[in-house]
Amino acid sequence: MKNLIRAIVLLSIIFAISNCIAKVSKKEKELNAIIAKLKPLHKKMAMPQPGDWLQYNKESGQSFVEYVRSDPVIVTKERKIIYIQPIGDFTEDEWKIVKKTAEFLSIFYGLSVITNKQIPLSAIPEKAKRINWGKEQLLTTYILYDLLKPKRTDSTILLLGITATDLWPGKGWNFVFGQASLRERVGVWSINRNGNPSGGEEAFKLCLLRTIKTASHEAGHMFSIYHCIAYDCGMCGSNSLSESDRHSLAFCPECHAKVIWATNTDIVKRFQKLIKFCKANKLKKETEFYEKELKAIQK
């Protein structure tokens, strides 16, 4: 009798595991089919130019399959809200950028985004501040691990700090646009170097484009996505503003599949909403590219 019960338990476990593998394989298969449809639209990564990120940083890259096998941070039944944490002061136009970026992130990752009450700069201790080339800077490691990490709640999938003050990540660095943890679900980015959003329509648009690029990139890291080295992609590393301006807002087919894997977002609805957002904000090149992607997956 005991042996019979053991055999039944064993069989149930094997059945459950094989069921689970079949499910995973189905989702992977579907996303691999989407990758194949999107591939022809995306440019392979060009040779790095002098001073580019890949000239200084050795990156291993990460395929969609490698990502799936890496046990990445993904949305769960409880953890499904992105929180944005404003840090320091913002002008009226900078607040508009923050608001629009929250809207973009919500569409890009298909999740609710809540913006927390602002934390004043006076709450950051002197040891996490410095003046570099005349600019005030905040230490990213302090923001990530001392300020943001304790503020995560049960519903937090990501907690993203945003500031108009410049950032630096520690000894030997001049500045960073943003920084995020691949495992701890915290990140921070700055709009300080993204241009002047009060400098007219074009300047506002440029600042918005740069900010949503950094925000989607840092959030990507927080879902355990590595830097992309295969395509011109929103997940490529950048050493300068001119380099990040060269990279596209859109994620490449492999990184796009990682986003869907982590969030379970409806692919068609996501593209439709991205098109609507880019159109409303007069981001012409980006609108046209997302339209092409939507068309490709509907074929």
User: Which one, 6 or 43, has the nearer CB to Zn ion?
Assistant: 43
Instruction: Find the shortest distance in angstroms from Cβ 160 to Zn ion.
Output: 13
Q: Which stretch binds Zn ion (CB under 5 A): 8-16, 60-68, 191-199, 233-241?
A: 233-241
Q: Is 250 in the site for Zn ion (CB under 5 A)?
A: no
Q: Is 31 in the site for Zn ion (CB under 5 A)?
A: no
Q: Is 228 in the site for Zn ion (CB under 5 A)?
A: yes
Instruction: Find the shortest distance in angstroms from Cβ 49 to Zn ion.
Output: 18
Overall residue count recorded for the chain in this entry? 299
Q: What is the DSSP string of the chain?
A: -HHHHHHHHHHHHHHHHHHHHHHHHHHHHHHHHHHHHHGGGSPBPPPPPTT-HHHH-------HHHHHHT------SS--EEEEEEES---HHHHHHHHHHHHHHHHHHTSEEEEPPPBPGGGS-GGGEEEETTEEEEEHHHIIIIIIGGG--TTEEEEEEEESSEEE-STT-S-BSEEE-SSSSEEEEE-TTS--TTS-HHHHHHHHHHHHHHHHHHHHHHTTPPPP-SBS-TTS--SSHHHHHHS-SSPPHHHHHHHHHHH---HHHHHHHHHHHHHHTT-HHHHHHHHHHHHHHH-
Please tell me the distance from the alpha carbon of residue 118 to that of residue 122, in angstroms, as a whole number: 12
User: Which one, 75 or 233, has the nearer CB to Zn ion?
Assistant: 233
Q: Is 233 in the site for Zn ion (CB under 5 A)?
A: yes
Q: Is 222 in the site for Zn ion (CB under 5 A)?
A: no
Q: Is 124 in the site for Zn ion (CB under 5 A)?
A: no
Instruction: Find the shortest distance in angstroms from Cβ 228 to Zn ion.
Output: 3
Cα-flanking dihedrals φ and ψ of residue 187, to 5°?
-155, 165
- Hey, what amino acid is at 24? V
Instruction: Find the shortest distance in angstroms from Cβ 217 to Zn ion.
Output: 6
Instruction: Find the shortest distance in angstroms from Cβ 226 to Zn ion.
Output: 9
Q: Is 144 in the site for Zn ion (CB under 5 A)?
A: no
Instruction: Find the shortest distance in angstroms from Cβ 213 to Zn ion.
Output: 11
Q: Is 260 in the site for Zn ion (CB under 5 A)?
A: no
User: Which one, 188 or 252, has the nearer CB to Zn ion?
Assistant: 252
The residue written with tokens 């355990």 in the block is 224
Q: Is 143 in the site for Zn ion (CB under 5 A)?
A: no
Which residue among 255, 267, 278, 283 contacts Zn ion (CB under 5 A)?
A: 255
Q: Is 235 in the site for Zn ion (CB under 5 A)?
A: yes
Residues contacting Zn ion: total by CB under 5 A: 6
Of the candidates 262, 162, 180, the residue with the CA atom closest to the CA atom of residue 222: 180
Q: Is 229 in the site for Zn ion (CB under 5 A)?
A: no
Q: Is 249 in the site for Zn ion (CB under 5 A)?
A: no
Instruction: Find the shortest distance in angstroms from Cβ 91 to Zn ion.
Output: 26
Which residue among 160, 191, 222, 252 contacts Zn ion (CB under 5 A)?
A: 252
User: Which one, 100 or 247, has the nearer CB to Zn ion?
Assistant: 247
Per-residue CA distances from 221 to 7, 17, 185, 199, 201 (Å):
44, 29, 9, 31, 30
Q: Which stretch binds Zn ion (CB under 5 A): 78-86, 247-255, 262-270, 281-289?
A: 247-255
Per CB under 5 A, which of residues 68..107 are in contact with Zn ion?
none
Q: Enumerate binding residues for Zn ion (CB under 5 A).
A: 228, 231, 233, 235, 252, 255
